[in-house]
A = this chain, B = another copy of it.
Amino acid sequence: MFEPGVRAGILATGSELLTGQIVDQNGPWLAERLGRLGIELVDELLVGDRRDDLAAGLRFLAGQGLDLIITTGGLGPTADDVTAELVAEFAGVPMVLDPALEQRIADILRGWAARHGFAGDALVAANRKQATVPSGATVLNPVGTAPGLVVSLAGGPLVLVLPGPPREVRGMWDAALGTPEVRELLARTPPLHTTHLRMFGLPESEIAQTLREVGAELDLDELEITTCLRRSELEVDLRYRSGAGEAVAEKLAAEITRRHGSFLVSTDGTPTDEQVGRLLAGHRIGLGESCTGGMLAGRLTDRAGSSEYLVGGVVAYSNEAKTALLGVPAELIEAHGAVSPEVARAMADGARATFHSDIGVGITGVAGPGGGTEAKPVGYVCFCVTTDDGRVEARDRVLPGNRNDVRERSTDVAMHLIRRILTTSAT
């Protein structure tokens, strides 16, 4: 059987998370970090800044038999920031001013105010509030101006109180792991292992059928299996704790590889972007983008070290730019239209020539919402990747969804075509 281990929950507070203004970035980041530590994230609850809702959320999580609750947000200087106070109430301890902390925050604020030319009055008031913490809490040094807190609930979970801004959460994480309370928790965490299978182009139902059929022979109860369709990629995760689980995961992964190998991107969780980055080592790539408007360049340069292989890119939105910067003949555009396999090919070759690279990519399509025709509807996108030794990977597809979907999926397809041309041996 798949044995449960140390279980965690997240309570993310901030009314802006519930109005659609901002997307919670801390949850996914914390989830990934917890997973590496073998801690399972069971629930994440997003609540507004209202005290009652926050208290109800804390009660719910505390009642879920969790070992760890992480709160994010609600530590700012404004009156709607009440997380620290609430956790203190929950732990049954008073709030106390920590003079050393007040001094530390004051130092941070003085430097900031001096650089930005703001007066100190508002900052000092904020300071005192942020330096008032639950009695007995372990204080984590601020990354911004809010300190983190570690609070033990008597007979209940450990509560790790973190600020809202993702940068501050990330900057405080190692210090949190170093506190005696969290170290004690980690010491009793059995390791959790995951086999990640990443596929491109395979429908989820095919994996469902494989699991049904394989389930007759393998004891899948040893695993926790999740499948997730993420734009164009299907991710299958096999999680296990025991040696028996490991054996089943291995057999299942082998069977999925045997049946669906041609759709397999990686079996070790390597994200497509990382794989493409590694494969590009020693190459030089140049890009010609139209409908994706720089998104492919943005995605490739997201990785540190990408300057080693990405020479550059042209966002050629207008026909003139396609001709002037990528050398696409105006007659070719005239004859086939700007969105055509022929123009995608010419853009790829042109990008190679412009950037003196050995790999070139061309993307041209109708991202919508306007511009579609019967022959070339919204979502119709032409891709081409060419190499200086004469290889060509070309596709044209009608991709589903709105403008944003089409652009993102186009970027996905282009990444996979680059991957393909780099994993297909020359000649």
CB proximity of A249 to chain B, nearest CB, Å: 15
Query: Which residues does A use to contact B, with CB under 8 Å?
Result: 14-25, 27-33, 35, 41-49, 53, 56-57, 60, 64, 76-80, 112, 116, 118, 121-123, 125-126, 165, 167, 170, 194, 203-209, 211-212, 224-230, 235, 237, 287, 289, 292-298, 300-302, 304-307, 310-318, 320-321, 324-325, 354-356, 367-370, 400-405, 407
Contacts A123-B205, A312-B316, A315-B297 hold; do A211 and B79 have CB atoms under 8 A apart? yes
Residue in B closest to A318 when the chains form the complex, CB atoms:
B311
Q: Find chain B residues with CB under 8 A from A237 CB.
A: 15-16, 19, 21
Q: Find chain B residues with CB under 8 A from A123 CB.
A: 203, 205
Q: Find chain B residues with CB under 8 A from A60 CB.
A: 60
Residue pair A226, B15 in contact (C-beta under 8 Å): yes
State A41–B400 Cα separation when bound (angstroms): 29
State A112–B112 Cα separation when bound (angstroms): 58
Residue pair B204, A78 in contact (C-beta under 8 Å): yes
State A125–B203 Cα separation when bound (angstroms): 14
Q: Find chain B residues with CB under 8 A from A211 CB.
A: 78-79
Residue pair A45, B45 in contact (C-beta under 8 Å): yes
Q: A43-B47, A312-B318 are in contact. List 19 more A-B contacts (CB 8 A).
A: A15-B228, A15-B237, A16-B226, A16-B228, A19-B31, A20-B30, A20-B32, A21-B228, A23-B28, A24-B27, A27-B46, A76-B227, A122-B203, A287-B315, A293-B298, A301-B407, A302-B407, A312-B316, A312-B325
Q: Find chain B residues with CB under 8 A from A324 CB.
A: 354
Q: Find chain B residues with CB under 8 A from A204 CB.
A: 76-78
State A53–B66 Cα separation when bound (angstroms): 12
State A212–B129 Cα separation when bound (angstroms): 13
Main SS at interface, chain A: mixed
State A208–B364 Cα separation when bound (angstroms): 48
**Pick the contact of A16 from B24, B235, B287, B355 — CB < 8 Å?**
B235
A-B interface, 7 closest residue pairs, ranked by CB to CB distance from nearest? A293-B301, A294-B297, A20-B32, A294-B294, A122-B209, A16-B228, A20-B31
Residue pair B165, A229 in contact (C-beta under 8 Å): yes
Residue pair B293, A295 in contact (C-beta under 8 Å): no
Residue pair A208, B325 in contact (C-beta under 8 Å): no
Residue pair B312, A315 in contact (C-beta under 8 Å): yes
Residue pair B49, A226 in contact (C-beta under 8 Å): yes
Q: Find chain B residues with CB under 8 A from A35 CB.
A: 19-20
CB proximity of A375 to chain B, nearest CB, Å: 17
Give 9 CB contacts A-B under 8 Å: A18-B42, A20-B27, A20-B32, A20-B33, A23-B28, A43-B53, A43-B57, A44-B45, A312-B314
CB proximity of A39 to chain B, nearest CB, Å: 11
Residue pair A317, B312 in contact (C-beta under 8 Å): yes
CB proximity of A196 to chain B, nearest CB, Å: 8
Residue in B closest to A41 when the chains form the complex, CB atoms:
B18
State A212–B226 Cα separation when bound (angstroms): 49
**Pick the contact of A325 from B41, B225, B325 — CB < 8 Å?**
B325
Residue pair A125, B212 in contact (C-beta under 8 Å): yes
CB proximity of A416 to chain B, nearest CB, Å: 16
Residue in B closest to A7 when the chains form the complex, CB atoms:
B53
Q: Find chain B residues with CB under 8 A from A311 CB.
A: 317-318, 320-321
CB proximity of A320 to chain B, nearest CB, Å: 8
State A30–B407 Cα separation when bound (angstroms): 22
